[in-house]
Amino acid sequence: QKEVEQNSGPLSVPEGAIASLNCTYSDRVSQSFFWYRQYSGKSPELIMSIYSNGDKEDGRFTAQLNKASQYVSLLIRDSQPSDSATYLCAVSPGGFKTIFGAGTRLFVKA
């Protein structure tokens, strides 16, 4: 079992729809959870962080965390073609270790 698992996609949604990206992790002691956006040929960019169970909203983005189910998700409301990218889930048990998933490719159709 991979430490951080994501569906590779591509996930295709129409413009204006909600995109739902999911991630599961194996280390139960994980403390910090992140979503990075990576455009093709570019570097990852931190867009959301979440540390406690529940939802965290930032503009059109909502991160959801369920530690009991070892599950973290990212919702993108009113998806735009500019949201088309690969989204990396990252999980940290603390200290200096962060485990990255391989990413989910999102394609928003205009």
Interface ranges with other proteins (CB under 8 A): 4, 8, 31-32, 34, 42-46, 49, 51, 88, 90, 92, 94-103
If the CB atoms of residues 17 and 98 are measured against other proteins, the closer one turns out to be 98
**What is the smallest separation between the CB atom of 73 and other proteins, expressed in angstroms?**
17
CB of 69 to other proteins, least distance (A): 21
CB 95 within 8 A of CB 79: no
C-beta of 6 vs 64, nearer to other proteins: 6
Closest CA to 48 of 25, 30, 65: 65
Q: Would you say 33 and 72 are in contact if contact means Cβ atoms under 8 Å apart?
A: yes
> By C-alpha distance, which of 105, 79, 63, 64 is closest to 18?
79
Closer of 17 and 38 to other proteins (Cβ): 38
